Amino acid sequence: MKKVRLRDICWYRSGDKGDISNIGLMAKNEKIYQIIKRQVTPEKVKAHFKDWVKGEVIIYPMDNLLALEIVMYQALGGGATKTLRIDQTGKAMGNALAWMEVEVPDDFVVPK
Amino acid sequence: MKKVKIAGCSAGWPDMMDPAIEVAEKSDAKYLAFDHLAELTMAILERQKAKRPDRGYIPDVIPLMKKLLPIWKEKRFKMISNAGGANPEQCAEEIIKLAKNLGIIGFRIGIITGDDLPIERVKELRAKGIKFRNLDTGEPDIDRVINDLVAAYVYIGADRIIEALDQGADLVIGGRISDNSLFVGPWMYEFGWKYEDAYWDRIGAAVCTAHLLECGTWSCGTCSNFWEEVPEPWHSGAPICEMGEDGNSIITKVEGSGGLVRADTLKEHLVYEVHDPENYIMPDGIGDTTAIKLEDIGPNKVRISKLGNKPRGKPRPSTLKFCLAYLDGYISEYIMIVPGPKAYDMAKRCEEFFYKRLEIVGLKPVETLVSFIGYNALFGPTAPPIDYSPNELGVRFAIKTRTLEEAREARLQATLSWYAAGVGTAFGAPSEREVLALWPTLIPREEVPTKLEMREVK
CATH number at residue B373: 3.30.70.260
A45 CA to chain B: closest CA distance, Å? Answer: 10
Do residue B110 and residue B253 come from a single domain? Answer: yes
How would DSSP label each residue in B250-284?
EEE--TT-BS---HHHHHHHHTTT-SSTT-EEETT
Mean pLDDT, residues B256-265 taken together = 97
| Prediction ipTM score | 0.93
Do residue B335 and residue B309 come from a single domain? Answer: no
Do residue B192 and residue B227 come from a single domain? Answer: yes
Full domain range(s) for residue B368: 326-439
Do residue B309 and residue B378 come from a single domain? Answer: no
Is B44 a domain residue? Answer: yes
**Angle between helices B88-101 and B61-75 in degrees, nearest 10:** 50
Do residue B73 and residue B209 come from a single domain? Answer: yes
Do residue B298 and residue B344 come from a single domain? Answer: no
Do residue B223 and residue B333 come from a single domain? Answer: no
Residues 48-77 of A with CB under 8 A from B: 48-52, 58, 60, 62-65, 67, 69, 71, 73-74, 77
Is B121 a domain residue? Answer: no
| Mean pLDDT of all residues belonging to chain B | 96
Do residue B161 and residue B207 come from a single domain? Answer: yes
Q: Which residue in B451, B8, B52 sits closest to B259, CA to CA?
A: B8
A28 CB within 8 Å of a chain B CB: no
Do residue B262 and residue B363 come from a single domain? Answer: no
A42 CB within 8 Å of a chain B CB: no
Full-model pTM: 0.95
Domain boundary among B317, B344, B371: B317
Do residue B235 and residue B183 come from a single domain? Answer: yes
Do residue B313 and residue B338 come from a single domain? Answer: no
Number of structural domains (chain B) is 2
Is B167 a domain residue? Answer: yes
C-alpha B239/C-alpha B228 separation (Å) is 20
Is B135 a domain residue? Answer: no
Which residue in A14, A62, A84 is closest to B367 by CB distance?
Answer: A84
The three-class DSSP label of residue A54 is coil
Instruction: Dump strand ranges (E) for B35-90.
Output: 78-81
Do residue B366 and residue B430 come from a single domain? Answer: yes
C-alpha A78/C-alpha B423 separation (Å) is 36
Does pLDDT of B438 surpass 80? Answer: yes
Domain boundary among B290, B317, B344: B317
pLDDT at B429: 62
Ranges of each domain in chain A? 2-103
Tell me the pLDDT band of B224, cut-offs 50, 70 and 90: very high
pLDDT 10s digits, B118-177: 999 999 999 999 999 999 989 999 999 999 999 999 999 999 999 999 999 999 999 999
Is B192 a domain residue? Answer: yes
Is B124 a domain residue? Answer: no
pLDDT 10s digits, A11-57: 999 999 999 999 999 999 999 999 999 999 999 999 999 999 999 99
Is B103 a domain residue? Answer: yes
